[in-house]
Structure 1
Amino acid sequence: MSVPETFHGWLAHDAKAAQGNLQWQSFAPKPFAETDIDIKITHCGICGTDIHTLRSGWGPTHYPICVGHEIVGHVARIGSASSRRFQVGDRVGVGAQAASCLRADCEECSAGMEQHCGKGFVGTYNGQYRESGYWSMGGYADYVRVPAPFAVKIPERLASADAAPMMCGGITVYAPLKKNGAGPGKKVGIVGLGGLGHFGVLFAKALECEKVVAISRSRSKAKDAQAMGADEFIATSEDEKWERKHSRTLDLIVSTVSSPDMPLSGYLRLLRTNGQFIQVGAPEDKLPAIAAFTLIAKGCKIGGSQIGSPREIEEMLRFAAEKGVRPWVQQRRMSEANRSVVDMEDGRARYRYVLVNEDHAKL
């Protein structure tokens, strides 16, 4: 399978790209290393991180940039150091991380926590490879080049359109659910019912939690949450005294929202003694302040979680295939990337857009 010397993708040249001003252009990928693979992209999910990055919401973005880190495609080229793991034609996925230092003396990498590597973390886009100085480019494109350790095989029973948004959106909630004890006998709340939150409900139900509670501002998505498996629904802007009514009912809350106005103290009131609140939504500003006694009185913990390691992604994909977890996706043609980015920003996705490269796959 031949690979072109230059790739093509939807490039952003400034913050206005988030308004639907991406341009389909050629770009030079990082120089090919023997530890790399090239992937012929068939599908790429649209993630909220894409929007934040396009508009430089989390800090200055290195333009021009091709975003997209929920990538599925087929291996088109393999470096000699990667030939034991992959063969040309294998269906693989890439999430939000493209590299880490992978050194034996790195506490995180040696422990299988590559996503927390402080010495060599490179995002799948908007990250700089130290060896070459090239900036990483993502999956709104025809091809992507990444170090092979950060690609994973897709189980046969998972459709590519379903697997793509799991590469970031899915693992972002699966990892904290698993790490913090979600399972039989546990009562779990998921704050926000967007792209991340709907994965939270699906995975919490598949993990056989005793109770899954969807928490949102309004009841507009209550029927959807029920169809996904939620046992209860809390609408914080509509349900009177919801904090008191549901006080001390949840063991774990995973928050996918990212607003400085979120009723954080109210969420913490829902936790039982020794309950945990895990933040995965990343705001462009600060989280609300809370009183110390909100934590002290019940021994609650607040924590955070960032994507997952390649090993965790593989585990999640096997679990999803075994349990039949299927995200709610809307497929769009890769040529419709600009409209899809705008619709994503406007909150129209139900619940994840997946771009399909019409030259490489059927819609």
Structure 2
Amino acid sequence: MAPLKFQGWLGKTPEAAKGQMEWGEFEPKKWTEDDVDIEISHCGICGSDLHTLSSGWGPTPYPCCVGHEIVGKAVKVGKNVKHIKEGDRVGVGAQARSCLEADCPDCSTGLETHCARENVNTYGSVYPGDEGKSYGGYADYNRTNGHFVIPIPDGLSSADAAPMLCGGVTVYSPLRQNGCGPGKTVGVVGVGGLGHFAVLFAKALGADRVVGISRKAEKREDVLKLGADQYIATEEDSKWAASNTRTLDLIICTVSSAKMPMAEYLSLLKPKGTFIQVGAPDGGLLPAINAFILIGNGIKVGGSFIGTPQEIQEMLQLAVDKNVRPWIQERPMQDANKAIVDMEEGKARYRYVLVNENYGKH
């Protein structure tokens, strides 16, 4: 086949996050027989894209093509990749490679996302040696290690599947890892792109009660339509913390703010309850936590990071089995600059998905 022409929306300075990406060609990582080339039909917009474009989480190796909620068609498959064949509909999430060595304490135990030896993001990373850089999905093509390329099951549209590959699994993983299911009550702090997935998957996993928690009452109707049993508006519902003390087994927090009312959130947990942080603020700082709140109630506080390929496959199948459908708005790939500005302004309800005009009909 003729060589593929890799081109996409490139961020060249932090100003790119303000809608100043430029369309252009880029050189993908050097091809190996472990890789898969994907003709991109859809790519979700994630908050991580904006943080990276602006160098909010640290210096970005510009030029950078963001996008790690990629769905498309496998058009070239390395000889060492056995679970994908050319023509398959596939997806890629936020991770492009780990060391995958048999003696790795992380990769050998299904913890590829935490590999300390090698952890390459789908975009904005430099591969070891001379393999080049990773480029994401605001583009026509993507090249990723086959281990992190996931078959998309029938029964799930490409547009629905795309934002699940990062946004969905980022909350699905901690829900599964922390016992969400029948008999549990779950709170979701911040019902935006991530949080709306947390409501959907908490219900799909069988939680008895799901409570959406956000600052303003304006999302109440939406969150209840998503399947939540209750909604708390922290800036408008009087005595919300006192009224809901010790009612939740698990809280998933998607908010990335150093100013959130952490003590009040923790007061919502039952004794031995668990608070899991998934939102990642610029600078990394969260509000101080009073040790006596943890000690007095036996509360556990932790964090969670994306999800493994196995978890992504489980999540996608659950979405098919339980008819989980995210609330998305499709945007043309050519309008990516406007879409990221709208995303930053909080206009998404609740996830934007870019549709490639060239390949989006597949």
TMscore range, shorter length: over 0.9
Query: Aligned partners of 1:204, 1:3: CA distance in 2, in Å?
Result: 46
Shift, 1:3, TM fit: 5.6
Shift, 1:131, TM fit: 3.6
| 8 Å CA contact 2:30, 2:131 repeated in 1 | no
Aligned residues: 361
Q: Secondary structure at the match of 1:107?
A: coil
1:172 maps to 2:179: no
Corresponding residue for 1:250? 248
Task: Give the letter for the 2:117 counterpart.
Answer: K
Query: Aligned partners of 1:309, 1:157: CA distance in 2, in Å?
Result: 22
Query: Aligned partners of 1:54, 1:39: CA distance in 2, in Å?
Result: 23
Query: Aligned partners of 1:30, 1:133: CA distance in 2, in Å?
Result: 5
Matches within 5 A, 1:1-363: 2=1, 4-82=3-81, 84-285=82-283, 286-362=285-361
Runs of 5+ unmatched residues, structure 1: none
| 8 Å CA contact 1:3, 1:77 repeated in 2 | no
Shift, 1:281, TM fit: 0.4
Shift, 1:45, TM fit: 0.1
Runs of 5+ unmatched residues, structure 2: none
| 8 Å CA contact 1:5, 1:28 repeated in 2 | no
| 8 Å CA contact 1:337, 1:355 repeated in 2 | yes
Q: Secondary structure at the match of 1:244?
A: helix
Deviation digits for residues 73-110 of structure 1 (CA, Å, limit 9, x no counterpart): 0000011111x211110000000000000011111100
| 8 Å CA contact 1:201, 1:212 repeated in 2 | yes
Task: Give the letter for the 1:333 counterpart.
Answer: P
Q: Secondary structure at the match of 1:80?
A: coil
Deviation digits for residues 320-361 of structure 1 (CA, Å, limit 9, x no counterpart): 111000000000110010000100000000000000001002
Query: Aligned partners of 1:358, 1:5: CA distance in 2, in Å?
Result: 17
Deviation digits for residues 203-247 of structure 1 (CA, Å, limit 9, x no counterpart): 011111110000000111000000000000011111111111100
Query: Aligned partners of 1:136, 1:76: CA distance in 2, in Å?
Result: 18
Task: Give the letter for the 1:22 counterpart.
Answer: M
Task: Give the letter for the 2:192 counterpart.
Answer: G
| 8 Å CA contact 2:245, 2:267 repeated in 1 | yes
| 8 Å CA contact 1:3, 1:76 repeated in 2 | no
Deviation digits for residues 301-331 of structure 1 (CA, Å, limit 9, x no counterpart): 0000000110110011011111000000000
* Mean CA deviation greater in 53-62 or 124-133: 124-133
| 8 Å CA contact 2:213, 2:231 repeated in 1 | yes
Query: Aligned partners of 1:360, 1:31: CA distance in 2, in Å?
Result: 24
Shift, 1:133, TM fit: 4.2
Query: Aligned partners of 2:216, 2:352: CA distance in 1, in Å?
Result: 22
Using the aligned pairs only, state the percent identity: 58
Shift, 1:6, TM fit: 3.4
Q: Secondary structure at the match of 1:343?
A: helix
Query: Aligned partners of 2:183, 2:305: CA distance in 1, in Å?
Result: 25
Shift, 1:66, TM fit: 0.2
| 8 Å CA contact 1:6, 1:29 repeated in 2 | no
Shift, 1:269, TM fit: 0.1
Query: Aligned partners of 2:131, 2:92: CA distance in 1, in Å?
Result: 21
| 8 Å CA contact 1:72, 1:164 repeated in 2 | yes
Query: Aligned partners of 1:25, 1:61: CA distance in 2, in Å?
Result: 18
Task: Give the letter for the 2:58 counterpart.
Answer: G
| 8 Å CA contact 1:97, 1:121 repeated in 2 | yes
Runs (4+) of structure 1 exceeding 3 A deviation are 2-6
